[in-house]
Amino acid sequence: MEESLKGVLPDEELLRFYEEMALCREFEESCAEQYAKGEITGFLHLYSGQEAVAVGCTAGLEPRDYILSAYRDHAQAIVRGADPKRVMAELFGRSTGICKGKGGSMHLFAPECNFMGGYAIVGGQFPIAVGLSYAASLRGEDRVTACFFGDGAMNQGTFHESLNWARLWELPLLFICENNFYGIGTEVHRASAEAILHRRTCGYDIPSEKVDGMDVMAVYQATKRAAAWVRERQRPYFIEAVTYRFRGHSMADPAKYRSSSEHEVWKSRDPIPNFARRLVAEGIAGEPLLEEIRSRCAVQVQDAVRFATESPWPGDEEIWEDIYV
């Protein structure tokens, strides 16, 4: 049963959740268009459907907390504060991109807002998150490190090595599994002997819970509680956010391994219209206000596309820059 939103957070915070989710959706759908036009090339993994996870989790963390992600990383970076213009320019491969056009879709990085990177080797970010957490801990910085990953990453050795390590060294890490049920085309139960994923942390004495990843408020509240727990005890915690990607694994994937009925069920749980419905039902916003928010997001994304389109390509000399300090 859905809890009331009213009173949990101020209205403007709730509207911010809505706006951030709408911005991410608008951004991702625009990326799909730009990919179709050939402006964005290479791999492109879109986040549509999973917005409640990035928005709810980020809101439940402090700005000083570190966030790391995998290759489906646009939303986490943008919600954290990366400029959508520079993210779009990165996807266009332009010199104004957030990583000068050298990273691309899968390797966003925004240290000024403590977004510590998108990593494209499945599970590659786990040890790096442990290292960042260790550094923060030793340097006396009050930071939680939130490490996002997909269900598929839980079958990599680094997952097990890093959970074990995080617990052994008593590090303030929050592991956030975005379980969208498919590692490309392989469904969870065909890849994980224990398909109830959050149970898999018991071997490392790390407490865990499952949360509805289509409900931004539930994700926010779970993250807020978990982050406080991690901060206070200086120990790792694990959240499994159950979610769904509305598109294929990447733009190259037509997702024929999923039935249309399954897709429809999840579409009916779309986190954005459902949250809108609740905002309206509770009198927090009227449809005109929500429409205004959506328009604002659309304009922001159009601006981002224009900025990217008009930005220069990297100079040839950039090839040799940034390899060494």
Partner 1 sequence: MSEMTYRDAINLALKEEMRRDQSIVVFGEDVALYEGAFKVTRGLLSEFGEARVRDCPISENTIVGVAVGAAMGGLRPVAELMTVNFALLAMDQIVNHMAKVRYMFGGQTSVPMVLRMPGGGGSQLGAQHSQSLESYFMHCPGMHIAYPATPADAKGLLKSAIRDNNPVIFLEHELLYNSRGEVPDDPEYLVPFGRVAVLREGSAVTLVGYGRMSILCLQAAALLEKEGVSCEVIDLRTLSPLDTEGIVASVQKTGRAVVVEECWQSAGLGGDLAARIYERCFDRLLAPVRRVSGLNVPMPYSRKIEKLCIPQTEGIVQGVRELLTSSY
Residues that bind partner 1 (CB under 8 A): 66, 97-103, 107, 109, 111, 116-117, 119, 121, 124, 126-136, 138-139, 157-158, 161-162, 164-165, 168-169, 321-325
Query: How many Å apart are CA 287 and CA 278, to the nearest integer?
Result: 11
Distances 88 to 29, 34, 85, 296 between C-alpha atoms, Å: 12, 10, 5, 17
Q: Which is nearer to partner 1, 104 or 271 (CB)?
A: 104
Q: How far is the CB of 167 from partner 1 (least distance, A)?
A: 10
Q: Which is nearer to partner 1, 71 or 220 (CB)?
A: 71
Q: How far is the CB of 280 from partner 1 (least distance, A)?
A: 41
* DSSP annotation of 110: B
218: tokens are 């539930």
Other C-beta atoms closer than 10 Å to the C-beta of 189 total: 11
254: tokens are 């037509």
| Residue pointed to by tokens 């549509």 | 48
Q: How far is the CB of 138 from partner 1 (least distance, A)?
A: 6
Q: At what angle do helices 271-281 and 216-233 cross, to 10 degrees?
A: 100
Strands 182-183, 186-187: pairing kind: antiparallel
Q: How far is the CB of 177 from partner 1 (least distance, A)?
A: 18
Q: Which is nearer to partner 1, 136 or 251 (CB)?
A: 136
Other C-beta atoms closer than 10 Å to the C-beta of 287 total: 10
Q: Which is nearer to partner 1, 130 or 176 (CB)?
A: 130
Q: Which is nearer to partner 1, 162 or 243 (CB)?
A: 162
Q: How far is the CB of 98 from partner 1 (least distance, A)?
A: 7
